[in-house]
A and B are shown apart, each in its own frame.
Chain A
Amino acid sequence: MVALPGSIDAESKQPLVGSRRWAASDEAKGLTLISPTLLYALALLFLPVLIVIAYSFWSQDYLTIDRSFTLENYRVALTEPIYRDLLWRSLTISLVVSVITVSFSYPVAWFISFHGGVHKNLWLFLITVPCWTSYLLRVMSWKVILGYQGVLNTGLMSTGLIDTPVTSLLYNSNAVIITLVHSWAAFAILPIYVSLEKIDRSLIEAAHDLGDNKVWSFLRVTLPLSLPGVISAFLIVMIPTVGDYVTPKLVGGKDGVMIATAIQAQFGKGANWPLGAALSVTTMVIVSAMAGLMVLALKLFVRRIK
């Protein structure tokens, strides 16, 4: 969870000559430097997660918490059709969102990195501009665009492409996907851009020199070498979108409800914290497993291209 200096294992194997020497070592300096962050992360990230996990094994007894161990919450979370459906929908939406976001972001990042010329920084700056406004405002503005009388419908009608407004744009999972893709694009472009920037251009020239045309050199050199960026983009988008609460609430309507809404309900009106905790932990475990699978799948895909 918190990255410690890599040297810690190797160092500690050596016999300690004296605590004084250790206090002056690079390791001690490193630990001192990261200690505020480390303590902050432990207090506000690690402990709450532990508490949530603990709650998930307890049960609600009206106004009090029964602290005897039980797996009942997990049975409900995994077998109740409503939670299964919500979880399934959340995972599908986040997977679709991350696939679309990464596929849209890759060409953008590629263009900036390879053809941005002297204006690379300007392009990157422009990409971050939408993030200057509040997340809520950006989601709300999609309501204006996608609504029944929205920008998209009136625009399409005035061009004569459609006669009646399209109703499938807002208050369903499509709207959630469209909004999330837009919100997360910048976070996907940046890691991909960074990994593309790191590629030595002479490698691409070498690929051309050895007979590859532009498509093959992209598939055999650029794509595999930018894979770390693609993987981080995937994870950066996928993990938070599974648990997104605001977007489905605002543009999702009835069909766009995701697991976070159910969790919120258990901690709020439902007043069943243990069940909410169990749902959270289940989501966390499944998302981690899915993220791991995604990484493996991408790596296999690239190995196949060789």
Chain B
Amino acid sequence: MADTPMIEIDAVSRYYGIYRALDDVSLDIAAGEFFSLLGPSGCGKTTLLRSIAGFDTPTSGDIRIDGHSAIDLPPNKRPTNMVFQNYAIFPHLNVEENVAYGLKRLKLNADDERQRVGNALEQVRLAHLSKRKAHELSGGQRQRVALARALVMRPKVLLLDEPLSALDKKLREEMQVELRTLQKAVGITFVLVTHDQYEALAMSDRIAVMFGGRIAQVATPKEIYQHPLTRQVADFLGGMNFMQAKITSESAVNLSVETTRFGNVTIAKPKGFTANNGQATIGIRPERLRVLWDDAKADCEVTGHVVDRHYFGEITHLIVDVPGLEKPLSVSETNNFGADDIPVGAPIRLAYDPDALVAMAD
């Protein structure tokens, strides 16, 4: 990010009475980036997106788009376009007229306009439906119209408000790939709001995880999944086995901890870490624990017995009680080797890689 960021969110707060929808949020989004705002409902992600679009005015702070302050600009003067959650397709216009809607204000000549509309419809593979009305379209088709209608304006930033939440699972996965491909093709900055962690992980260059009007962590999907800064982030992005560990030594970047069942390990110290009575919260993802079959050996092992089992088709979740741990471990194992046949109550050995242990700031 050597250039100026495409979007600079500078200490933005938004209060509704005493309720803080956004609490001193600062964020930079680079040009050409696919950026996701991820969080549970009510975390402020939509308020932030609407503030960028101009539909909501922050109580304080500044928003700069492409280097210019946009805080006083109405939505129609901002170089952003939005794909609404319900797509907001104009019901009195057909597909073509919907896509051409914004172009009418640009006073293009008829040929240019027709060409741009045609190109945009090609881009979202809807050229064959150009005369259809909104009510004659399926959910996926409506979404494509909304996309084409925004992209035809050639915005600097495309804002997407939970665009896939109304689609069924299969279509949603297809559209994830398609959106990602489209973003790479047009090279526009995409800002996506979602509450679906898999969607954010699969599509984004970077993710900002938000809770209660604040940003908890901004990082690449891999970084955020493997090194969540806080318990909340770790929990929101998939399962995590949490445990307390005693700190034996602490440097500027590392923590050495003594665990009850995972030995003594040295792990990276998260930003903003504060010890709690000499204890640190550490965790390991369920899929980083592997079942050891028969007499297989591993450098690092924990032993326990299965107390519960949940079958998910390609994987099985095993709940493993390990003596000395405050909570049973959750283990996610593929069914290739018969994890779905392990009986409840059976003793089990689990292998792990000490690098898979992470420390969290709280």
Contacts and interface: CB of A to CB of B under 8 A. Distances in A.
A225 interface: yes
A211 B86 contact: no
Contact of A211 (B55, B92, B93, B105): B105
A205 B88 contact: yes
A136 to B, nearest CB: 42
A213 B101 contact: no
Interface string A30-51: 0000000000000000000000
B90 A213 contact: no
A211 B103 CA distance: 8
B74 A213 contact: yes
B74 A208 contact: yes
A80 interface: no
B84 interface: yes
Interface stretch (B75-83, B208-216, B290-298, B342-350): B75-83
Nearest to B93: A306
Contact of A206 (B80, B90, B106): B90
Interface string A196-215: 00001011011111111100
A52 interface: no
B75 A208 contact: yes
Contacts, number: 59
A206 B105 contact: no
A208 B96 CA distance: 18
Contacts of B140: none
Interface in A169-224: 200, 202-203, 205-213, 216, 220-221, 224
A164 B55 CA distance: 54
A210 B101 contact: yes
B90 A203 contact: yes
B187 interface: no
A212 B105 contact: yes
A116 to B, nearest CB: 19
A213 B55 CA distance: 13
Contacts of B81: 209-210
Contacts of B84: 202, 205-206
Given A216-B105, A306-B97, A209 B82 contact: yes
Contacts of B55: 205, 208-209
A24 to B, nearest CB: 33
A213 B75 CA distance: 9
Contacts of B54: 208
Interface in B335-359: none
Nearest to B106: A211
A225 B92 contact: yes
Given A205-B55, A306-B97, A211 B102 contact: yes
Contacts of A225: 91-92
Contacts of A205: 55, 75, 82, 84, 88
A224 B84 CA distance: 21
A203 to B, nearest CB: 5
A178 to B, nearest CB: 35
Contacts of A220: 101
B285 interface: no
A306 B90 CA distance: 12
Nearest to A205: B55
Contacts of B149: 206, 210
Nearest to A302: B92
A211 B55 CA distance: 13
Nearest to B78: A209
Contacts of B82: 205-206, 209
B86 A200 contact: yes
B289 interface: no
Interface string B166-206: 00000000000000000000000000000000000000000
A209 B75 contact: yes
A213 B76 contact: yes
B150 to A, nearest CB: 8
A221 B53 contact: no
Interface-central residue, B75, B80, B97, by most chain A CB under 10 Å: B75
Contacts of B53: 209
B93 A202 contact: no
Interface-central residue, B80, B82, B85, by most chain A CB under 10 Å: B82
Contacts of A210: 76, 81, 101-102, 105, 149-150, 153
Given A212-B76, A225-B91, A207 B86 contact: no
Contacts of A202: 84-86, 88
B88 A211 contact: no
Interface in B39-93: 53-55, 74-76, 80-82, 84-86, 88, 90-93
10 contacts: A200-B86, A202-B88, A203-B90, A205-B84, A209-B150, A210-B102, A210-B153, A212-B105, A224-B92, A225-B92
Closest 8 CB pairs of A and B: A210-B102, A206-B88, A211-B105, A202-B88, A208-B75, A211-B76, A209-B82, A211-B102
Interface of B: 53-55, 74-76, 80-82, 84-86, 88, 90-93, 97, 101-102, 105-106, 149-150, 153
Given A209-B55, A209-B75, 11 more contacts: A200-B88, A205-B84, A206-B82, A207-B101, A208-B55, A209-B53, A209-B76, A209-B81, A210-B150, A212-B105, A225-B92
